[in-house]
Amino acid sequence: MSSQSTAVVIYHNPRCSKSRATLELLKSRGIEPRVVEYLKAPPDAQELDRILRLLNLEPRELMRRKEPEYTDAHLDDPGLTRETLIRAMVQRPILIERPIVVHGDRAAIGRPPEQILEIF
């Protein structure tokens, strides 16, 4: 499975139980993903746009809307553009839902962790 695992990336927060469970699920299947601690190394706007397209989601659908940063930055304004919302997630990565697993040209959110199995 080494060729498969080189194409697998998990956007991970080690403090999140769902993120840890998703990483363990991958490893239990023999998949060693590239782990991106997105709070330390957030994806840039281009990568985040690609992830959103793979997930078939709009930016707000990938945002943790209960985080204080969401309200503080007035991101609930319906007039904000896709680009503005993506930029907000790059600047405030705490807003990005987690974990996200990308496998080639497919992606899934690990909520629940088993949901990521659909992309393999």
Token look-up 């281009």 returns 46
Catalytic, 16? Answer yes
Which one of 16, 45, 80, 119 is the catalytic residue?
16
From start to end of 1-120, where are the E strands?
Answer: 8-12, 34-37, 100-103, 106-109
Report in angstroms the alpha-carbon separations of 21 from 7, 75, 100.
20, 29, 12
Nearby residues of 35 by Cβ (< 8 Å), 6 or more positions away: 9, 10, 12, 23
* 32 class by beta-carbon count within 10 Å (0-12 exposed, 13-18 middle, 19+ buried): middle
- Name the residues annotated as catalytic: 16
